């Protein structure tokens, strides 16, 4: 069997559960004498979630994985990934609204996180949604109401 078909094959074991694009693995907790569970999304190199896992009745071995526990873990791990994606998006895309005599102007900063040459685009949009100006700036440009107003007041010339 090739690696791709192995990745899609469901596994339902006490300490390893693979299904629906996720793998749950019960592992020895490195921080103490208990157990932990890691959730890995198919194709990802790192776990999306690592957390404590319940001891079994014998107080030595981990409780076996089951359908309900796996589904809860998938839901939790997916939520963690969603929050990370939202935060990454928020870090790369910012906007402020500035009141001007001519109306509201929304100024957006969109960072392009290129490995070789990162940059950002600073864009002004009027209340009707029309683009007033757009300039390329450094990825470290700090967008706030003061810097947006200064850019507008300077005739949308490239800052710095």
The CB density around residue 135, as the number of other CB atoms within 10 Å, is 15
Q: What is the mean pLDDT of residues 50-60?
A: 89
Residue 1's pLDDT band (boundaries 50, 70, 90)? very low
Residue 60: its pLDDT value, please?
Answer: 86
- Asked whether residue 98 falls in the same domain as residue 60, the answer is no
Residue 29: its pLDDT value, please?
Answer: 83
- Asked whether residue 97 falls in the same domain as residue 61, the answer is no
What contacts 157, CB < 8 A, 6 or more positions away?
135, 151
- Asked whether residue 61 falls in the same domain as residue 101, the answer is no
Residue 6: its pLDDT value, please?
Answer: 47
Which of 149, 118, 115, 152 minimizes the C-alpha distance to 134?
A: 152
For residue 100, tell me if it sits in a domain.
Answer: yes
| pTM value surpassing 0.95 | no
Q: Which domain holds residue 18?
A: 3-65
Of 65, 80, 112, which residue constitutes the final position of a domain? 65
Sign of the C-alpha dihedral, residues 91, 124, 152, 98? negative
Which of 94, 87, 88, 120 minimizes the C-alpha distance to 108?
A: 94
- Asked whether residue 57 falls in the same domain as residue 96, the answer is no
Q: What is the mean pLDDT of residues 56-70?
A: 92
- Asked whether residue 60 falls in the same domain as residue 107, the answer is no
Residue 77's pLDDT band (boundaries 50, 70, 90)? very high
Q: Is the pLDDT of residue 148 over 60?
A: yes
Residue 3: its pLDDT value, please?
Answer: 46
For residue 29, tell me if it sits in a domain.
Answer: yes
For residue 118, tell me if it sits in a domain.
Answer: yes
Q: What is the pLDDT of residues 89-143, one digit of tens each?
A: 888 899 999 998 888 999 999 998 888 889 999 999 999 999 999 999 998 899 9
For residue 158, tell me if it sits in a domain.
Answer: no
The CB density around residue 97, as the number of other CB atoms within 10 Å, is 12
For residue 21, tell me if it sits in a domain.
Answer: yes
For residue 60, tell me if it sits in a domain.
Answer: yes
Of 14, 49, 65, which residue constitutes the final position of a domain? 65
Q: What is the mean pLDDT of residues 140-154?
A: 93
**Domain count along the chain:** 2
Q: Is the pLDDT of residue 7 over 60?
A: no
What distance in Å separates the CA atoms of residue 90 and residue 64, rounded to the nearest whole number? Answer: 39
For residue 57, tell me if it sits in a domain.
Answer: yes
Backbone angles phi, psi at 103, to 5 degrees: 125, -170
Using a 10 angstrom Cβ sphere, with 0-12 exposed, 13-18 middle and 19 or more buried, the burial of residue 96 is: middle
What distance in Å separates the CA atoms of residue 16 and residue 64, rounded to the nearest whole number? Answer: 9
What distance in Å separates the CA atoms of residue 121 and residue 136, rounded to the nearest whole number? Answer: 5
Q: Is the pLDDT of residue 59 over 90?
A: no
Using a 10 angstrom Cβ sphere, with 0-12 exposed, 13-18 middle and 19 or more buried, the burial of residue 154 is: exposed
For residue 50, tell me if it sits in a domain.
Answer: yes
Of the two residues 128 and 7, the one the predictor is more confident about is 128
What contacts 150, CB < 8 A, 6 or more positions away?
159
């Amino acid at each position: 069997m090739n690696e791709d078909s192995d990745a899609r094959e469901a596994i339902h074991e006490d300490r390893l559960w693979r299904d629906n694009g996720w793998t749950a693995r019960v592992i020895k907790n490195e921080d103490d004498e208990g157990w932990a569970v890691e959730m890995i999304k198919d194709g990802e190199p790192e776990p999306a979630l690592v957390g404590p896992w319940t001891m079994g009745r014998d107080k030595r071995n981990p409780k076996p994985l089951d359908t309900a526990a796996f589904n809860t873990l998938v839901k939790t791990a997916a939520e963690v990934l969603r929050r990370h994606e939202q935060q990454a998006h928020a870090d790369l895309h910012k906007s402020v609204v500035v009141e001007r005599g001519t109306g509201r102007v929304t100024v957006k900063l969109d960072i392009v996180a290129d490995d070789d040459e990162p940059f950002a685009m600073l864009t002004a949009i009027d209340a009707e949604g029309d683009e007033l100006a757009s300039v390329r700036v450094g990825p470290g440009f700090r967008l706030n109401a003061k810097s947006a107003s200064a850019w507008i007041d300077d005739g949308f010339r490239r800052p710095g």
